[in-house]
Structure 1
Amino acid sequence: MIMLETKNLAKKYGGLEVLNNVNLKVYKGEILGLIGPNGAGKTTLMNLICRLTDITRGEIYYKGELINNKKPYEISKMGIARTFQVVKPFKGLTVLENVMVGAFYGRKNAKNRAEAKDIAMDALKIVGLLNEKDREPSILPIAQRKKLELARALAMDPELLILDEVMAGLNPKELDDIMKEILLLKERGITIIAIEHVMKVIMGISDRVVVLHLGELICEGKPHEVCNHPQVIEAYLGSKFAQRGVA
């Protein structure tokens, strides 16, 4: 089943074309890795899907329904949640209260504070932050702040979860921990789009990988196929390396 599909999707800012004719399919139950050099348009694509910015041209379908004219809060209620590349917890709220915010705006649509707290506690348990629930987020190390961002998205009860570079800045042990958690989310039935630069992560969790370069999708396939594709190597390392090949 196709969970999400974009057709000829494009985005311009003035005369600058950031995305051009992006045709993407995300299948239910998979982890789709999205890679590409800085400035390729990855985050812009996710912003379009979540309706945080206007579409210049093209269509976006979620479970077969056209969502071009949906508002961000309507997208959340439909079952799409995301993390953000730059972690920005709500100031003045504890870890638990930050996650409770997600419970009020997701599919579960918490009716009161007690219900939101129960949902948030479950999300914190999943990511291993239950013991930090009463702390101020700003004092958490980066790995735990990334987990807080993930917990807030999980509190929205997503069917489709978009992860925007949740691995950036983590050490090898922290990477391994979050990779395991992401794979467990897949086992729970959540479909995932993971934007990443860390190739260990892409190779380790993705069922399929697509590559965005200069606003266009240039390659897709199994992780090992994509990472050794000449166009992908050229996009990341230059034509000299593409001609030489990378083992």
Structure 2
Amino acid sequence: MYNLKEIIGRVKTVSSIVKITNAMKMVSSVKLKKYQEKLYKCKIYKKKIEEIFRLLYHYPYTYNKKKPILLIVITSNRGLCGNFNNLLLKKTEKLIESCQKKIYILSIGKIGKDFLDKKYPIYFYNRDLIENLNEINLSNIVDDIYQKFLNGYFSNIKIIYNSCKKLISIKQILPFKMKKMKNPNYLFEPSEEEIFKYLFPEIIKIKIYKYILESITSEHLSRMIAMHKAKDNGIKINHELLFIYNKLRKENITKEILEIVGGI
């Protein structure tokens, strides 16, 4: 049975948790808006660069279908974001088990690396892209896997991530097909071949950049919802504790009054 002192202690603890979860919700809300704006700008840039790419597109590279697959798995570095990581990692396991070829993992995010490292070979791990997504960090990774693909080390490269619609998406990065647009008599300077050689890795980079942005946006949305629910649950628990506190206090007062009356 609780006593009054224990209940007050619990009320203070839960109140502190409510303040923390509310603060985390507000932080995620601000970050969510920031990454939504970044994602919007990225989509515009991706659309424009793809329009140019379609004018030049031809796929000159060959690849060995028997070679291993590289699977890029995007998770968060931290928890407290609901089922954001759990559902994705379960889907990743099913995808790996259903594949008949050897799979290497490129893990972006600490949660995914800690989980997958126990069972599957990790080709590369990076956690900085989640906290500090920039062109230099991303270029180093994209250039490496792009060259590995061209040299026949991987047969294809796939990515799995949480999209902004809170759905788990699986996309194929390489090889890919893109419908070529009719060339409306443009003059290219430098040559089409040189522009294509530059744009080909750039189009891969912008795709991966967009998917990481979507994952980070989805993470902050999930964390904001999780913290909102945690705050509401904390408030509910506090109300229940205060109800018990007031009931117990009334019982103690009634008992003391009865003892006084009985002693007269």
The TM-score bracket by the shorter chain reads: under 0.3
Q: TM-score, normalised by structure 1?
A: 0.25
Q: Return the structure number with greater strand share.
A: 1
Q: Which has the larger radius of gyration?
A: 2
Q: TM-score, normalised by structure 2?
A: 0.24
